[in-house]
Structure 1
């Protein structure tokens, strides 16, 4: 009896260790995937507030909540099963698909850089909508469609990080990344879009709350511009890094080796902060490559558009 009990306890301890190891794998993979998706996350955060512009303040948070639910459905009900099927039956396609996503990020980033430099915009003005209910539905459906593209890139980046793990661990990690990013993005967006209302509320109070409120109202447009700029830079950097890494996996390691050699040389010139310098040089070089790729792709797209017209 004692021997059987000891064996049972050993089995329980072994199962507990396996469970703990699996949780560690999930947490580690989710953390890496979330970090790699940072560029898309920042851009998503920068884009979403535009969908509540022109709507009444009391409808801002309900609309963001609807968009967040749509984003969660995109990730968990559409993209997660597709990612698992891809991992199970066509793992060879993950790198090419990820590189296409990286090219898309570079293209979008290059378009935004061009808009900032030229003052032009490749987006068309929407027709005015007098019905607020119709306007809200239009904004929510448009935001969810845009989120599907960004979420697909997030899940592709995450899948590339967890593709070597067991299928169940992949599913849990991808679901964790999808939910965590949805909560973070739309939680931050909800706070940002209400900061000006908070500022206006404080501005009606006595000093020093009035000064704080005035400062918030003046600061929020600057904050949104900073977020948009950081999001654009992050898209180009992440997209360029994806392309470099994908080329290395497909048998063209020269760009990755050149960037690594450049970053290593720059880091060796500094006795302090070498790791930071290595990261900055790597990110900058990946960003330059991504910007070149994005400009080239944007040029091709615009040439095709002109030919069609």
Structure 2
């Protein structure tokens, strides 16, 4: 039987699951929620066809809510960022990173600046002039919107962001970061490069008001992480079949949901650098 449902209500808290036939997944809310519901509903349809089980996409309000839903078995699979994936796998023993986007092995963040700052693009490093400006990260546990940008800021200036900038904020997601810097609410911000590139391509950014001034070195980021009890719940070989379904995803409309050009195999060891940085910054224990 083929049945899918894209949950319209955003997950906050739900009781412990009493189902075994419906396979549920979520994704960190790194963009506008309505866009994610529309896009990931198509992914649910695809997985239902490939796996022969009922599949439901469950949207969440925050990065932390995605990790909590995974920990509580409210979802069995999640499209996590690097840091949220590390957090989830620490909380749920035997969970595995199955696949990452082809671009995720060498992901980057953009530092963007409002035109009024007078900052110009610099390939080498952030200029001293950014000091004492205002700055916004994305979500507090975003790999590309907070963790790695903060890591590179500390490398560059030898200080915490609060000591570098006159004011530091957290926008909540990459789309909001772009909007806040474009509006001049903050002088600078750190964003996921793929969200920025897609927004520019779709004409959702006024590049006369905001532009990229620096690109970070690369690091591993997003991945699909699956709970370790999936084969027990959904049948022998389910994990292998799911991984193959993700690797075989080729429909451009589906890949646009991420956005990625395709998926490649991943494993937990690939995210050791993210775990190390998170431990250094006190974001995981």
Give me the TM-score of the superposition, normalised by structure 2.
0.23
Query: Which structure would you say has the larger Rg?
Result: 1
Give me the TM-score of the superposition, normalised by structure 1.
0.21
* Between structures 1 and 2, the one with greater helix share: 1
